[in-house]
Every structure is written in structure tokens, then in C-alpha cells.
Amino acid sequence: MKPLILAMALVLAVPLPAQAHPRQPRDLRELAQQTGIRIGTAVDVASLRDEADYRKVLNREFSHVTAENAMKWESVEPERGTYTWQDADAVVANALRHDQKIRGHNLVWHNQLPAWLTTGVENGTIGDAELRDILRDHIMTEARRYRGKIRAWDVVNEVVDDDGNLRQSIWLTHLGPGYIADAFRWAHRADPHAKLYLNDYNIEWNTAKIETTYTLIKDLKAQGVPIHGIGFQGHLGIQYDYPGDWPAVMRRFADLGLEVAVTEMDVRMVLPVTPEKLATQADYYRRALSGCLSVSACREFTVWGFTDRHSWVPGWFDGEGAACLFDENYAPKPAYQALLSVKRG
């Protein structure tokens, strides 16, 4: 054999090293880049304004944000016809400065409605036809204001109750179930490029809610309603079993042609905090992100607040808390490290 051919044969015979895996990311933004999924958080606007350490962690770690309360109806129109956009604008402006995509939250909900609206419906000074006009004007005014700046809107929030029925609300009572389709059509007219979502809790595991939500969306799609995504809130607690069928539920909705997102993830625990509880919490966060990454249609993983200093959980669940990725002093918890260890399969 000629020397050159022999040398080539020896080179070809040497096994090539296995392709190197990317190093563990240094933060959640880098994890988002490596996995191709947007990783976000809800934003507390008061903390955004007042706390430098809050801003530092928010803008370092996250590539996607949701206004926790600043875009809700009672916040943007506390008095009829008087709009207060300052808080919502602050969230949007900060996001645009720091290359963060934005989820609008939300356009239609049964909670956090302004008193002028609920009182007017209750005392009959706002009739059904006027109520429909008010809803349309609210959706279109807010969606138009942020047109081109919002990646996705939670158009309709929590419309199915825990028993699998359409939720009783002023909207269902006075406008009938057609208000849901109307809301999506109005939002699409106001911002044709935003992804429009139905968002709900416990659809990770509650069969009755899953079936009703699935049928509702299937019917909306059949009517040509512009609905593009399903949001799984993901409010979990370590005292309950992890919803192991969650990825399969995601795939079922994705098969309807929907984008999928985890929109409000947190994992609470009964206090006090222990190392064992933190380890279980970390496992729940890890499994949630891994499940999302196993579904090609899952495009976003958002936590509902990132620091225990400003979590909603203690005020809602007596004796529970410590639900976030960072503690009260912005120190990363085991759950944060668990997310950084997740790789796309």
C-alpha cells in the first residue's frame, strides 16, 4: 500500500470523538438559547420600578415577560372611559429595552374587573347589548395599543370551572357562550399578528376541565375562530402528585394545530422550607420543562414570578409558599439549578 493511502486509511480507522454536548448554561437566557424555547416570568410592576436587584435578575435571566396585573381590566380602566396605561406601558418599555418578548395577560376574565362594570351589570344600568359593546371596546382598545409589541395574548382566561362546565360569569350569564368566539375575533382584528391563547389552570391533570376545554377549542377551530394557542398555567404543589400525563395532554391540544405554552408555572410547598421539600420542588420544575421540551409545539415556559419575596402564593394558600426559583434575597434555589440542567432530548 502506498504511504499516502496507508496514512489516510489509518486516519479513517480512528473513531471520531462523540459530538460534544453544549456546556451547562450560565443562566436562564442562555438555557433558552440552547433549547430554543422562550423562558419567561410574570412581572410585578411596583418591584420593577422600585427594586434594582429585582430589575437586575429579571433582565439578566428572562427572554419573555408577562404583566402580572398591569394589563388586567381593573388596572387599565379603573373608571369608565379613564385609562391608566402607565403600569402596562412600563412593563412593555422595559421588555423592549432588554430584548424580551411579551405575553399580554389578559383580555377577558371573570376576576379583577373594575367596580363600575360589575356594579353596573348587577344593578341593571348596563344592559346586555351595552355589555357586549363594552367588552368589544375594551379588547380592541387594549390590543390595538400594544399592536406589534405583544407576541401572544391570553385572550380568554379561565373559562372552564373545576367540574368541567363553562364558568358562570357576567360574560356567560349576559352574553352567552358566544362571547368566547367574539373575544378572539375582536382581538385578531385589533392585532392580526399576535398569537391568541385560551389560558387555564388545572388542565395539566383535571380530566373534566381537559375534555371541556378540548371540545371548546375544537368547536372554535371548526368555526374558523382565530385561536392559536393553549396556555397551561402550571400552578403545582409538592404535596400533590406530579401530573405525569401532562406532556400527553399537551400533544393532544397540539394535534388541533395549536401552539402550546406553560404560562404561570410555580411549585408551592407547605411551610416551613426543608432541603427535602426543595429537592422535590426542583424535580417538579425539571419535569415540567422537560415535558414542555418533549412537545414540539411547546414554545414558552413562563414562571409566575421568580422570587419568593413577591410571590402571590402566601396570600392565597394559607401556610404555603416558597414557590419560586429564587428566594426572598434573590439567591437561586435548587429548582433554578434543576432547570439549567435540562437539555432538549
Residues labelled as active-site residues: 158, 264
Secondary structure letter of residue 36 according to DSSP: T
Q: Which residue has the cell 381590566?
A: 73
C-alpha cell at position 337: 439549578
Closest by CA position to 58, among listed 334, 325, 338, 345: 325
The count of other CB atoms within 10 Å of the CB of residue 258 is 21
If phi > 0 it is left, if psi is from -120 to 50 it is alpha, else beta; for residue 231 that is beta
Distance from the Cα of residue 31 to its chain's centroid: 17
52 and 109 in contact (C-beta within 8 Å)? Answer: no
Phi, psi dihedral angles at 104 (to 5 degrees): -80, 135
Q: Report the helix count and the strand count for the chain, using DSSP H and E.
A: 15, 10
Q: Where are the beta strands (DSSP E) in the chain?
A: 38-43, 64-67, 101-108, 152-157, 195-200, 229-232, 235-237, 259-270, 298-303, 320-321
Residue 179: partners with Cβ closer than 8 Å, 6 or more residues away: 108, 132, 135, 171, 172
Cα–Cα dist 267/237, whole Å = 5
Measured in degrees and rounded to the nearest 5, phi and psi for residue 237 equal -135, 140
Q: Is the peptide bond before 165 cis (omega within 30 degrees of 0)?
A: no
